[in-house]
């Protein structure tokens, strides 16, 4: 089967391991189409050509780069006419112009289509996005949903077609793995990884660190509009000597970073227009043998299962209690780390997700 997968997410090098796993399945001939860069509140993410074995990675021009709802690929039609795919996998939300544009072009050529959604809040959009969404709900052969909550949302919004609940990406456990030798004794290393925006709750993490007993250090790895305010919060709380702010790393360097961390915290808070959709940093950290703590926001509890500790959203006191226990109890950290690694191996590897995706492809063609 000839497949074209359109995905701005696959700019990220470690995500391309799923593409290699897709292409490794006998009978799959894959072309992945990506832009050369993508802009958001963190800055510009440029294409990393990290894992490109077995398939073709093509870059396409992008109109309205950085506009989540309105971007599209003006030369996509040329690629589709040249390749004549059996399936076009649109790795975009159904209310986006890029999805509508790709869906129309692909279906005109007789290709089967599917799109992907993380949307886990029931939201209603103005025209033209409402019209785009309606078309994509009524004209698609399959839908992939990142969570059961997303599936419920799209059923409420009127989608009646076939769907599969499957995360967008997993991790390669050969790359995201525990360090080859045990982490050295010393201050317990705590970390947050992600965007520095209000909904991610980094201010709550910093507040929980105030008065946290024991020997520890914390790293905030990320960028975003809240960077200055968060640095000031840490300074005002007297944490400047114990909290380090670092810029984002290339994706291929993240396994090495996680291997230096003992506990990862994801303190997200739900907003009227946003709720944590997955929390990919959790499975990356778990795969590397890191204990994880997360807020009860969106999919975080479902991702961690019994391999991580959950605290009520915005409850700084309970977050501090969790961290205090983990700082003082090395065996507890190790127990959670082992459970997290096992959970990733069972549910969240790139190979597992690729094989499930190919099952969907095969169903479309039969």
**pLDDT one-digit tens code per residue, 348-362:** 999 999 999 999 999
Evaluate whether residue 175 is within a structural domain. no
- CA 141, distance to chain mean position in Å, is 24
Q: Residue 333 sits in a domain of what CATH number?
A: 3.40.50.2000
Residue 271 dihedral angles phi and psi, to the nearest 5°:
-120, 165
Evaluate whether residue 178 is within a structural domain. no
Task: Please give the pLDDT value at position 53.
Answer: 98
**pLDDT one-digit tens code per residue, 196-231:** 999 999 999 999 999 999 999 999 999 999 999 999
Using a pLDDT cut of 70, give the percent of the chain over it: 100
Are residue 133 and residue 193 in the same domain, yes or no? no
Helix axes 316-328, 330-347, angle to 10 degrees: 100
Are residue 116 and residue 67 in the same domain, yes or no? yes
Cβ neighbours of residue 108 closer than 8 Å, sequence gap 6 or more: none
Are residue 150 and residue 201 in the same domain, yes or no? no
Are residue 17 and residue 155 in the same domain, yes or no? yes
Evaluate whether residue 97 is within a structural domain. yes
- CA 271, distance to chain mean position in Å, is 18
Which pLDDT band, with edges at 50, 70 and 90, does 181 fall under?
A: confident
Evaluate whether residue 41 is within a structural domain. yes
Evaluate whether residue 324 is within a structural domain. yes
If we measure between CA atoms, which residue out of 339, 358, 352, 361 comes closest to residue 17?
A: 352
Task: Please give the pLDDT value at position 42.
Answer: 78
Identify the burial level of 166 via C-beta atoms within 10 angstroms of its C-beta, where 0-12 means exposed, 13-18 middle and 19 or more buried: middle
Q: Which domain holds residue 309?
A: 188-347
CA distance 116 to 142: 9
CA distance 295 to 322: 11
Which pLDDT band, with edges at 50, 70 and 90, does 3 fall under?
A: very high
Q: Which helix (H) or strand (E) holds 190?
A: strand 188-193
Q: How many CB atoms lie under 10 A from the CB of residue 226?
A: 19
**Minimum mean pLDDT among 85-94, 153-162, 181-190, 205-214: which range?**
181-190
Task: Please give the pLDDT value at position 92.
Answer: 97
pLDDT at 232 over 90: yes
CA distance 337 to 184: 15
Are residue 316 and residue 246 in the same domain, yes or no? yes
Are residue 34 and residue 159 in the same domain, yes or no? yes
What would the two tokens of residue 151 be? 């599936």
Identify the burial level of 164 via C-beta atoms within 10 angstroms of its C-beta, where 0-12 means exposed, 13-18 middle and 19 or more buried: middle
CA distance 23 to 56: 9
Evaluate whether residue 238 is within a structural domain. yes
Q: Identify the residue whose tokens are 């778990």.
A: 286
Are residue 217 and residue 148 in the same domain, yes or no? no
If we measure between CA atoms, which residue out of 297, 270, 323, 350 comes closest to residue 24?
A: 350
Number of structural domains found in the chain: 2
Are residue 124 and residue 144 in the same domain, yes or no? yes
Are residue 208 and residue 357 in the same domain, yes or no? no
If we measure between CA atoms, which residue out of 360, 7, 353 comes closest to residue 172?
A: 353
**pLDDT one-digit tens code per residue, 275-313:** 999 999 999 999 999 999 999 999 999 999 999 999 999
Evaluate whether residue 359 is within a structural domain. yes
Are residue 215 and residue 296 in the same domain, yes or no? yes
Are residue 25 and residue 88 in the same domain, yes or no? yes
pTM of the complete model: 0.92
């Amino acid at each position: 089967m000839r497949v074209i997968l359109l995905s701005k997410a696959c700019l990220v090098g470690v995500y391309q391991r799923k593409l290699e796993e897709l292409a490794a399945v006998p009978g799959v001939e894959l072309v992945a189409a990506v832009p050369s860069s993508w802009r958001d509140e963190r800055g510009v993410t440029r294409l990393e050509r990290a894992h490109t074995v077995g398939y073709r990675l093509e870059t396409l021009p992008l109109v309205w780069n950085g506009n989540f709802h309105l971007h599209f690929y003006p030369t996509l039609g040329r690629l589709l006419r040249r390749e004549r795919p059996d399936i076009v996998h649109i790795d975009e939300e159904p209310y986006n112009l890029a999805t509508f544009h790709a869906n129309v072009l692909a279906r005109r050529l007789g290709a089967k289509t599917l799109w992907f959604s993380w949307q886990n809040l029931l939201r209603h959009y103005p025209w033209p996005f409402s019209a785009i969404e309606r078309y994509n709900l009524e004209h698609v052969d399959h839908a992939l949903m990142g969570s059961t909550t997303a599936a419920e949302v799209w059923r409420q919004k009127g989608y009646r077609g076939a769907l599969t609940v499957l995360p967008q990406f997993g991790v390669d456990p050969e790359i995201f793995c525990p360090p080859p030798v045990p982490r050295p004794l010393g201050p317990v290393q705590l970390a947050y990884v992600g965007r520095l925006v209000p909904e991610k709750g980094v201010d709550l993490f910093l507040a929980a660190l105030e008065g946290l007993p024991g020997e520890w250090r914390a790293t905030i790895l990320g960028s975003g509009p809240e960077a200055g305010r968060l640095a000031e919060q840490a300074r005002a709380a007297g944490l400047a000597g114990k909290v380090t702010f670092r810029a984002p790393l290339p994706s291929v360097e993240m396994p090495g970073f996680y291997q230096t961390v003992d506990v990862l915290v994801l303190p997200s808070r739900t907003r009227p227009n946003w709720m944590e959709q997955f929390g990919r940093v959790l499975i990356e950290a778990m795969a590397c043998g890191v204990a994880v703590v997360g807020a009860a926001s969106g999919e975080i509890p479902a991702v961690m299962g019994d391999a991580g500790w959950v605290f009520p959203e915005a409850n700084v006191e309970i977050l501090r209690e969790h961290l205090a226990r983990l700082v003082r109890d090395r065996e507890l950290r190790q127990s959670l780390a082992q459970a997290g690694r096992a959970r990733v191996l069972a549910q969240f590897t790139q190979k597992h997700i690729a094989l499930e995706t190919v099952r969907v492809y095969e169903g479309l063609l039969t």
